Each structure stands twice: as structure tokens, then as C-alpha cells.
Amino acid sequence: MTKDILVAGNWKSNKTLSQAEDFFRVFSEKIKGESLPQNLTAVVFPSLIHLEKARFLINDYRLPLKLGAQNLSARQEGAFTGEVAASQLSDLVEYILIGHSERRKNYAEDDEILAQKSDRAIEAGLKIIYCVSDKNDRVPDGVDIVAYEPVWAIGTGKAATAQEAEETASAIKSKHPKVSRILYGGSVNPDNIVEFLKMPTIGGVLPGKTSLDPDQFFRMLKNAAE
């Protein structure tokens, strides 16, 4: 495929440090020093506590992977116990996930908080992947990448059809013409990835569960590259 594609693996709250290390080791054995095609960008989103080790291993094994964080503070750096500020993340990662339905639902993150988080990320120069579960969800100004993730497709093994995903992606694109890329997420796997990537408005995917397994993640990249 010649269009630009982003494959972003959201590990969620999974993996101990040694399991994260295993991922990069096994992935490096699969990819064997090869690079990805120019038009394909791969990003992994480990837990915050594993980011530094992940960065070290990506450099050490020379992996064609970029790093993202799954969360950030809505506030700037300062006296906010337990929070991690965008400025602290910005020398470790290039991407940030904001607006995931799991955070909206379980941590009461509303449009106001998500807009604050987006402002912090933009100030710090992070690339936002802003998740929505519906074409009518708000998207803050300055967001460049939106991920459409229908809640019923997340972790259920029942992905949307590529046509359904394309329809919503294209509605989001018309509503937010400044957004440059729309991803689809929800039960993406090595078998269905190509169907999504064939769609004209879909510029990548956001797999969760299948991105935890180095073999499946590698196969998704391989299929995306063909």
C-alpha cells in the first residue's frame, strides 16, 4: 500500500517489566534488523513505568518502532502528586493517547478534561491520537490524528466492518477537515487489518489486545506493508 499508514499498539494496563522486555526481544528476532517501508509508521504504547526501558530497548535492538504514552496530566508540571506532565513525557515519547473510552468511562474524563489534556500535549509538542467512539464526539482544536473506536468493538473480538468504519471515518473527516489522519480501533487483528487499511479515509489502526503479542504485532505490520 502506498498511502501513509500508522499502526499504533495500545498495551493498556498490561505487562510486567520482564514481559515488556520479552516483547522487544522477540519482536527484534522477528524483524531481524529490517526496516519498515517509508509509508508505514509503527508505534507502541507501553505503561508509563516501562517507557524508559522501552526506549532503551528500541534503540539497542534498532527497532523501527516509535513510542507513545497512554495518559498524561491535564495540568502542567508542579505539585500534583502521582501525575505525569506532558513536559516530562516529551523527551521520552512522540505520541500520546487522549480520550480513550476506557478513561472516559472509568476515570470520568469529560470533554473539558480531555481538552485540557490536549492543550498540555500540544504545548509539549506531542502528537495526539484522540479517541472517539462516535462521529459526533467533540475533537479539540489542534488534534491531528483521530481514532474511531466503537465501544462495542473494543476487546470483544467483534470488529466493525471496514465499510462501517470508513463511513464514520469519513463523517469525522468532513466535520473536522483539519484532522489529517483517521485510525480505526476495536478488535483489529492480523487477518482483518488489510480490509481497514484499504478504505480511502482510514489512515491506520489502533489495535489493543493483538498488539501485546510480538508475533501478532509483527504480522500486522507485515500485512500492512503489503
Which residue in the shown chain puts its C-beta closest to ligand 13P?
A: 208
Q: Which of residues 197-226 bind ligand 13P (CB under 6 A)?
A: 206-210
Residues near ligand 13P (CB under 6 A), total:
14
Smallest distance, ligand 13P to C-beta of residue 9, A? 8
Q: What are residue 16's phi and psi, to 5 degrees?
A: -80, 175
CA gap 134, 160 in Å, rounded: 13
Q: In the range 133-172, which residues lie near ligand 13P by CB under 6 A?
A: 149, 154-155
| Distance (Å, whole) CA 88 – CA 145 | 22
Determine which one of 102, 109, 149, 166 is catalytic: 149
- Using an 8 Å Cβ cutoff, are 7 and 203 in contact? no
**Which one of the spans 17-25, 132-140, 169-177, 184-192 is the region binding ligand 13P (CB under 6 A)?**
184-192
Q: Contact between 10 and ligand 13P (CB under 6 A)?
A: yes
Residue with smaller CB distance to ligand 13P, 172 or 177: 172
Residue among 50, 100, 102, 166 flagged as catalytic:
100
Please state the separation of Cα 200 from the chain's center in Å: 19
Q: Does residue 42 bind ligand 13P (CB under 6 A)?
A: no
Closer residue to ligand 13P in complex, CB, 173/209? 209
Q: Is 34 a catalytic residue?
A: no
Instruction: Yes or no: say if 36 and 222 are a contact pair by the CB < 8 Å rule.
Output: no
- The candidate with the shortest Cα–Cα distance to 215, out of 65, 47, 57, 26, is 26
Task: Find the shortest distance in angstroms from Cβ 176 to ligand 13P.
Answer: 19
Give yes or no: 164 in active site.
no
Residue 121 CB contacts under 8 Å (≥ 6 apart), including other chains: 72, 86, 96, 98, 128
Q: What are phi and psi of 53, to 5 degrees?
A: -65, -40
Residues marked active site are found at 100, 149
Site for ligand 13P, rule CB under 6 A: 10, 100, 149, 154-155, 185-188, 206-210
